[in-house]
Amino acid sequence: MKKTLIKSYAKINLSLNVLKKEKDGFHKIESIVSFLNFYDEIYIQQINKKKHIVKFIGPFSKNLNKKNTISKLLDILDKKIVLKKKYKIQVKKNIPQQSGLGGGSMNAAFLLNYFLKKKIIQLSKKEIFNICNQIGSDVFLGLDRKNLILFNKKSIKKYNVKMALFALLVKPKVGCSTKEIYKRFKFFSKNRIKISSKVFKIQFLKYAKNDLEIPAFKLYPILGKIKIFLSNINKVKFVRMTGSGSVIVAYFSNKKSAINGLKLIKKKFKNHWSIVSKTI
């Protein structure tokens, strides 16, 4: 059968407040979330086999063939006996691992969304959320690729707004451990995100923050150096780490300024991964 391309877009946290530690050991957070026009390429094809075939290629595919979110999702759907056919799935990994861009989580989210939209599977909202939660706490954020505010592990508010921000992404060779960063987190935020589309405007975002930067920069000092450098680039609006890192993002209102920043980064940090993208 014919191959179909599913674009698995990168997720970014424009802000992230850590409010408290829950009884289950996890942290309660609030976050302003968007997506970039930068994605992993998932090619899916129905096959006449007894088992699914899942393969990863591309610059960031190392060690993913053994344990990954795609295989986990397929295993869950098979056990629920809702996926009647078998599929060959090849994923070109363009999104770096341990970057804070939600690459693995979004792979599962966009594939699940494909199965649902094509009516290959039928599930209730509760079943969909439970499946997402089994794979990863942020998987459900990618089911509808809209700008949103995350209030806790179960509550989101979606907005049909377009920011048209150009993003310069920089990642050092180091990858951040979310577990280690939260382990070192000490000071909880008193700030709360307003339930309004206005939070997606630059005037608000430049005063927002990511609480995880403090422990992340202590654990990985290079991240702080990158942020300082990006903050001094001409016409940058604001600079912020996404998620628990290790990608630092500089935001611009026009492409020319972002491209200029990219040239400066490539000159200053020659061994770092860097690209320019745009918010969707």
Q: Which residues are catalytic?
A: 11, 138
* Pairing verdict, β 147-150 and 156-159: antiparallel
> How far is CA 37 from its chain centroid?
12
- By C-alpha distance, which of 81, 92, 106, 83 is closest to 11? 106
272 phi, psi to nearest 5 deg: -90, 150
Q: What is the DSSP string of 205-244?
A: HTT--BTTHHHHHHH-HHHHHHHHHHHTSTT--EEEE-TT
**Per-position DSSP letters for 29-88, written without gaps between them:** EEEEEEEEEEEEEEEEEEESSSS-EEEEESTT-TTTTTS-HHHHHHHHHHHTT---SEEE
- Give the full edge-to-edge strand order of the sheet including 273-278: 238-241, 248-252, 166-171, 273-278
Task: Output the CA angle 19-25-29, nearest 5 degrees.
Answer: 25
